[in-house]
Structure 1
Amino acid sequence: MTSSDELAAALEKANGAQERFEIMYDTLRERISMSDYPPGMRLSEEALAAEFGVSRSPLRKALKILEADGLLQSVQGVGTIVTDVDLDELTQVYQLRMELNELVGRLSPKHPDATALARFEELRKRAEALCSEPDMKVFARLNIDFFHAFMRLTDNQPLVEVSERLFYQTCRIWLKMIPMMDFAEEVAIFAGEIAAITEAVRLGDTEAAGHIRRAHLSMGFTRLKSHARQQTL
């Protein structure tokens, strides 16, 4: 989670109301996605407005969009609640994400440059370190950072925007399911995915990167469903 000092500094440097809004929105979305705000938690508008140093009006705008994203729910008489994630309800979202990931390599793909390769190499090293010392929060952070690095392989903005919304709807499922799974094995699989896509980026083969990402997302979802079934037996 971004520290209070870092958040205050970012808000102070923001150029205008729109940028401050985006910082608030991104911060809240990340806290939900990292389970810093766990499912069922009620968010206090008063406390958040004080933390961000804003009135409730722009804060409510951010909360409304997060509600439209499926991350929050407004409950009359209770307030704004962080939603839970259900694997069965996310099946169609995962199916769409699989197709969209493959499109990254086909719709306005960028030719990876030295900066892109350095970005993926840094992620690969972080994944290797995570294999040595598995940590759930570090895994979640790496998952988010890797998603954003992957989406920078395309210049198709509508594809990026839709993919981002769907990603944040599903990424929390791993934090919910991992305690039931072999966490070290999942980290090793993820590290393998990052290594394979890094190699595709090194070769300048964005289309291959899309195929790899789609395959790993499909296999990951299959593993999640398998573990979910085992819990009901």
Structure 2
Amino acid sequence: MLIASILDGELLPGQRIRQEALAEEYGVSRVPVREALHMLEREGLVTLVQNTGAWVTALTQDECIEIYEIRERVEPLLLRNSMQNLDDSVFDRLEELNAQMIAARDSPNEFMRLDWEFHWLTYSGAEPSFLLSMVKRLWNVTQAYRREFVQHQDGTAQHLTHSEHLLIIESLRRLDSADAGEAIASHIRRTRKSLVTRPEIFDLDGSASSLEH
């Protein structure tokens, strides 16, 4: 699926998406392809230019940092909405995922997969809502840049991630909403501050490529 190609990094920010190639790949007409592109545009993953074409959405450094500022404020609320519906089996799984991330420190894609599962498991107790949908969109539109960020992480940064995850788990086990909110906000804040010092992460350029065969 096209969304998987974007989120998995097969398609890079700025890369052109050709409707004809997609229609041929999936064995469909251009109509469902066009509808899918409009859906992805609403999700912020694709940029459509009338009478010109479609591209994977690219963010500037300032835009990405702004998204992290938003996440820093809204994800504590989402976590508080979720935590009352989590149980010991979830907390145990969170600890397993956190341990697996240490073992995956040399595999950025696996590290990201585990990190994604970790955080969305903490939010799994939240009822479907505008907030939940918004946070998922914020995660998706920054996925390519998180991947680059993870690839630039050193052992110290990975150790900090592990420690911050432990704080989140501990506060969830205690059902301490204040500590849980501060733990996730602090976790996101550290990444946001690191992004300020990593302009090279935003040099991703898929404009030289296009989805064609």
TM-score by length of 2: 0.78
2:191 is aligned with 1:217: no
* Paired AA for residue 117 in structure 1: F
Change (3 A) 1:31 1:144: farther
Q: How many residue pairs were aligned?
A: 201
Change (3 A) 1:182 1:140: closer
Change (3 A) 1:51 1:190: farther
Partner of 2:157: 186
CA distance in 2, matches of 1:220, 1:207: 20
Change (3 A) 1:207 1:58: farther
2:54 is aligned with 1:80: yes
- Structure 2: segments with no counterpart, 5+ residues: 203-213
Q: Does the CA contact (< 8 Å) of 2:17 and 2:53 recur in 1?
A: yes
Q: Does the CA contact (< 8 Å) of 1:49 and 1:55 recur in 2?
A: yes
2:31 is aligned with 1:60: no
Partner of 1:176: 148
Change (3 A) 1:216 1:169: same
Change (3 A) 1:117 1:51: farther
Residues 1-233 of structure 1 correspond to what in structure 2 (within 5 A)? 27-52=1-26, 54-75=28-49, 79-107=53-81, 109-131=83-105, 134-155=106-127, 157-178=129-150, 181-228=152-199
Identity of aligned residues (%): 28
TM-score by length of 1: 0.72
Task: Please state whether the residue corresponding to 2:54 is helix, strand or coil.
Answer: strand
CA distance in 2, matches of 1:177, 1:128: 16
Q: Does the CA contact (< 8 Å) of 2:7 and 2:140 recur in 1?
A: yes
1:156 to partner: Cα distance: 5.5
* Paired AA for residue 200 in structure 1: S
Q: Does the CA contact (< 8 Å) of 2:13 and 2:58 recur in 1?
A: yes
Per-residue CA deviations over 1:60-119 (Å, capped at 9, x if unaligned) read 222112222322122456532112232212233221111111112434643321332243
* Paired AA for residue 102 in structure 1: P
Per-residue CA deviations over 1:27-63 (Å, capped at 9, x if unaligned) read 4334313312112322233443455455433332221
Q: Does the CA contact (< 8 Å) of 1:87 and 1:173 recur in 2?
A: no
CA distance in 2, matches of 1:40, 1:108: 35
Change (3 A) 1:70 1:105: closer
Q: Does the CA contact (< 8 Å) of 1:105 and 1:208 recur in 2?
A: no
1:177 to partner: Cα distance: 4.1
Q: CA RMSD in A?
A: 2.8
1:153 to partner: Cα distance: 3.5
* Paired AA for residue 72 in structure 1: V
Task: Please state whether the residue corresponding to 2:198 is helix, strand or coil.
Answer: helix
CA distance in 1, matches of 2:198, 2:15: 26
Q: Relative contact order (C-alpha < 8 Å, sep 6+): which is higher?
A: 2
Task: Please state whether the residue corresponding to 1:80 is helix, strand or coil.
Answer: strand
CA distance in 2, matches of 1:160, 1:126: 26
CA distance in 2, matches of 1:105, 1:207: 10
